[in-house]
Structure 1
Amino acid sequence: MEVTLTRAIRTQQNNTVRNILDVPNAGINHRIRGGVSPLTLAVKLRLTQVTELLLRSEADVNAEDEDGFTPLGWAVIKGQKAIVGLLISFGADLEYKYQKHDCCTALLLATKHEQIAVVDELLQRNAEVNCADVHGYTPLAWAARQGSDEIVKRL
């Protein structure tokens, strides 16, 4: 069932995904190459509807892949504001420290990748603005360092 779920997600067959998720042991948290879960795959492919279907079926919202990212991390760096909000609504850890990425939080990642809309979403969700990475840089320090005036204003 795991391969079928992954294939249905990759080919964007939402009805098939929905039908598979109705089956017990549908492999909702089964990992494929790279430690990627079906939820992470849906996020990486920017599939908001499928992401919501998986979350409603209790996919592991904080599953880390071999790249060291959770679904929230991928949504942040890809600038997917709506999916970021959805993941947080379903319990994604807003302050998760990405060990393979200098212990950045979602807000630090959004700042580093200059994802202004995502920064706004994370601030609305009360992300910690004074968090620092392993080098001591806060989101404000990163934004200033990069010359991201719009993000500096928000922080």
Structure 2
Amino acid sequence: MTAIEAIRSGDLDGLKALLAVDAAAVDERDENGVPAAMLALYLRQRACADALIEAGAAVDFPLACALGLAEEVVRFLDACPELLAERTADGWTPLHLAAFFGQPAVAGLLISRGADVLARSTNKMENLPIHAAAAARQAAIVELLLDAGTPANATQHGGYTALHSAAQNGDQATLNLLLLRGGDMNLAADDGKTPAQLLPAA
């Protein structure tokens, strides 16, 4: 079993056993080049990510942003401000990661350092950080991104807006915020669906 396989199956004990006999396993990457610790976060396997880090997996800038390690983020940016614009192997900016993983302090820090709130992911989602925040029910970060100039009706691949995600998730806090900022519940995506149509049945 590889570290990637253990993470995908949620086998924390198996991962720890592997790391105990194969120190190099901490550096495994998946088929898209995503490091094992980041993959664990994507799959909501935080204990697996922690085990990898404890075993020596490097905490690089994207991972520090995803984990909300503000002091580390500052250290990285002080040494290399260009990191703000770098993308992960699977196409995300640091701000996307902070937004999706619910790290408002880091998101605010990145924005204050000049992160582009309108930077699109270079993957099939072609989305903005606000879409990542809305998908993860992160109303506080959605507000940060709106304040920083993201249009409430900005679209991602397929014509979906943050309101589409908020409506589908039944996330009333994000819905209310986007509506106050000009979000359109009747704006149809490419498939014809509007946010209003995605609201959970009462």
One-letter identity of the residue aligned with 1:132: T
CA drift of 1:38 comes to 2.8
What is the match of residue 117 of structure 2?
A: 94
Secondary structure, counterpart of 2:154 in structure 1: coil
Cα 1:147–1:44, aligned 2, differ >3 Å: closer, same or farther? closer
Please say if 1:39 is aligned against 2:61: yes
Q: Which residue of 2 aligns with 1:66?
A: 89
- Which whole-Å CA distance do the structure 2 matches of 1:101 and 1:115 have between them? 22
Structure with bigger gyration radius: 2
Counterpart residue type for residue 61 of structure 1? L
Percent identity of paired positions between Structure 1 and Structure 2: 31
Amino acid at match of 1:48: A
Alignment of 1:5-44 (within 5 A): 34=33, 38-44=60-66
Match of 1:139 in 2: 162
* 8 Å Cα contact 2:124-2:157 kept in structure 1: no
Structure 1: 4+ residue segments shifted above 6 A: none
CA apart distance, 1:144: 1.7
C-alpha change, 1:38 and 1:51, in structure 2 (3 Å) is: same
SS at the partner of 1:131?
coil
Map 1:112-131 onto structure 2 (within 5 A). 112-131=135-154
Separation in 1, partners of 2:34, 2:88:
5
Tell me the distance in 1 between the aligned counterparts of 2:172 and 2:67: 30
How far is the alpha carbon of 1:136 from its aligned partner?
A: 1.0
Task: Tell me the secondary structure at the aligned position of residue 157 of structure 2.
Answer: coil
Q: Which runs of 5+ in 2 are unaligned?
A: 1-27, 36-58, 179-202
Match status 1:150 vs 2:173: yes
Quick one: distance in 2 between partners of 1:138 and 1:65? Answer: 23
Amino acid at match of 1:141: H
Measure how far apart 1:139 and its partner are. 1.2
Work out which structure has the larger RCO, using CA pairs closer than 8 Å and 6 or more positions apart in sequence.
Answer: 1
Q: What's the CA shift string for 1:58-111, capped at 9, x where partnerless?
A: 241111111211111111111000100111111211011113251110111111
Tell me how many residue pairs correspond in the alignment: 124
Is the CA contact (8 Å cut-off) linking 1:95 and 1:128 kept in structure 2? no
Q: 1: distance between equivalents of 2:66 and 2:143?
A: 20
Equivalent residue number for residue 56 of structure 1: 78
CA contact (8 A) 2:68 2:105 kept: no
TM-score (norm 1): 0.71
State the Cα RMSD in Å: 2.1
- Give TM-score scaled by structure 2 length: 0.56
